[in-house]
Each structure stands twice: as C-alpha cells, then as structure tokens.
Amino acid sequence: MAIEDITLRLNPSFYDESTQTVYVDVEIKYNGYGHFRLADQNYRLYYDSATLRLEEDFSRSDLPQDLYSPIHFMEVYEDLQADKINQLDFDDHLGFVNFNIDLNNNKEGGITIKKDEIWTRVAVLNFKVADKNSLSQIVWSRSDATEDYATAFVEIMEWVAPNKTTSASIEDYVDASFNLNEKEQLFAVEISPNPSSDFIKLTFDKDLSESLMVNIYDAAGKAVISTKAYRGAATLNLAIARLSAGSYKIELTTLDTEVRVSTASFMKID
C-alpha cells in the first residue's frame, strides 16, 4: 500500500444569492504516514453545463503565491453531447474543464500536508448557476467513472527531493452533488472588519444548530488558532492581534465527524 495515498474532494462551500454563483472548493486530504509535500497538479472534471457555467476569471488557486503558479485553465468545454455513461447523465449539456497548478520552486518543495490535518484547499472554482432549484453535479475525471470520455485523469505530484517528484496514489474521489435551494447544504460566514489588525467578528447566516470547531490556518496551511462556536450562537469574536500580517483561512467543522461546513478568509494587517 502506497504511503502517499490522498483523497480528492469537490466541496460546494458558498452560494452568493446576489450574483447567482456557487464557490466549489478543490480539496486534498492526506491519508498516509508522516507528511506529504505537494508539487505539480493537474485536475480534470465533468459537470452539468445546463445548470452550471464555469467562470474562469473568478476561479483561483488557494495555494501560497510564492510557491505555486496561479490556476491555469488548459481546456474548458460546455454543452457537449453525453451518452449517459456511468455518472455522466447530462444529455447534451456535458461540461469539461482541465486545469493545472505548478510548483514554482522544485528545489525546496511546496507546502506540507500532514495526516492529522482535515482538508487542504488548493483551488476555488466559481460557477454561475442557471437554476438553483435543479440538482447540479460535478464529477472527477477518473478511470472508474469517466473512462469513455477522458484520455487522461487527475494527476497529483509529490515533491520528494530537490528536482525530483513522483506521482501520488489517489485513494478516493468525492464528487459534488447539490441543490442550492436546500440552504442547509451551504453555510455562509461573514467576517468583519476585513482586513483587521486586532480582532474579527464572525457572523453566521443562521443560528448554529450544533456546536462547531473553528480553526484558523495561515498561508502555509498551519493551524494558528483553534476554538469552538457553540450551539445557538449567531456570532463569534476572535482575537487576532498576535498573528503575523498576511492572509488566513477559517474553517468550521463538526465536532464529532470533522465534516467541514463552511470556509472564509480574512487579511491580518499590522
């Protein structure tokens, strides 16, 4: 069994009602031993272009810019004919996207992902939503689901030594299937002030139905603050004065199952 096994997940994290766009996180979880050094990546996925339209200009890499290239879209096709093979039951509205993110410094390597970390977000894809009442689906390109369409599949590289990488073993794929009219599936958090130098206030779009774990991660993916938001809360104040200036990511996860229910980001200034 390869020790570098990883899982890929497509996670719809936020729906903007005003612009009718959904943000879908591309995430990695490491399942091996020790740590995993993320290098070059190439992602391929299919989606229902009758309900979703990819907005390339508003999609982005979420990896440190000093280590990785911006997101680069190599192929984007929509309204292709599908033949109802496996999960791709999209009639004449099959969408396909192929994008990559490259490691800039192959001598020192990229970010380190540890087994005890939950999920690492590598990119955020922005989709325009045509009908929020319809079921929308996004499917990873992989041998067990899309072999009749794809000539190549997702590839994630591990940095193992200066100027040396190896292909990681992808253990599992988690596709996205969601109906945006079912609001409980997407949980929004507003951060203010943003940017801030001393504290931030998290405002939830609804009172919490259960207590959640709140983790703040720096740009390298290291957890710098961990606390809880308790059931019934509508807001949460966090002191951030001790943090260094830079960008940070907040993740809210369930206490028992560690399922992520929302993400947000903020800028710390001096």
Is the overall model pTM greater than 0.75, yes or no?
no
Sign of CA dihedral 82, 88, 90, 93: negative
Last residue of a domain, one of 161, 178, 195: 178
Looking at the structure, tell me whether residues 261 and 209 fall in a common domain: yes
Token pair for residue 45?
């996925």
pLDDT at 83: 73
Query: How many structural domains are present in the chain?
Result: 2
Across 156-171, average pLDDT = 93
Q: Measure the CA–CA gap between 106 and 160, rounded to whole angstroms.
A: 10
DSSP label at 241?
A: T
Closest CA to 8 of 156, 111, 107: 156
**By mean pLDDT, which of 71-85, 151-165, 182-196, 203-217 is the weakest?**
182-196
Among 184-188, 231-235, 242-246, 251-255, the minimum mean pLDDT is found in 184-188
pLDDT in tens, 87-145: 577 777 899 999 999 999 999 899 998 876 678 889 989 999 988 778 888 999 998 88
Q: How far is CA 85 from CA 32, 88, 97, 147, 256, in A?
A: 33, 6, 18, 9, 37
> Which CATH number is 65's domain given?
2.60.40.680
Q: How many Å apart are CA 236 and CA 234, to the nearest integer? A: 7
pLDDT of residue 1: 37
Cβ neighbour number for residue 59 with a 10 Å cutoff: 20
User: Do 157 and 38 reside in the same domain of the chain?
Assistant: yes
pLDDT 10s digits, 185-233:
456 788 889 889 999 999 887 777 678 889 998 877 788 999 998 888 8
199 with 188: CB under 8 angstroms?
Answer: no
Does residue 213 form part of some domain?
Answer: yes
Contact, 236 vs 208, CB < 8 A? no
Containing structural domain, residue 52: 6-178
Query: Which one of 178, 202, 226 terminates a domain?
Result: 178
Task: Give the pLDDT score at 2.
Answer: 45
Q: Which residues of 168-183 are buried (b: 16+ CB within 10 A; e: fewer)?
A: bebbebebbebebeee
Q: Is residue 214 in some structural domain?
A: yes
Mean pLDDT of the chain: 85
Say what the pLDDT of residue 117 is: 64
209 with 114, same domain?
no
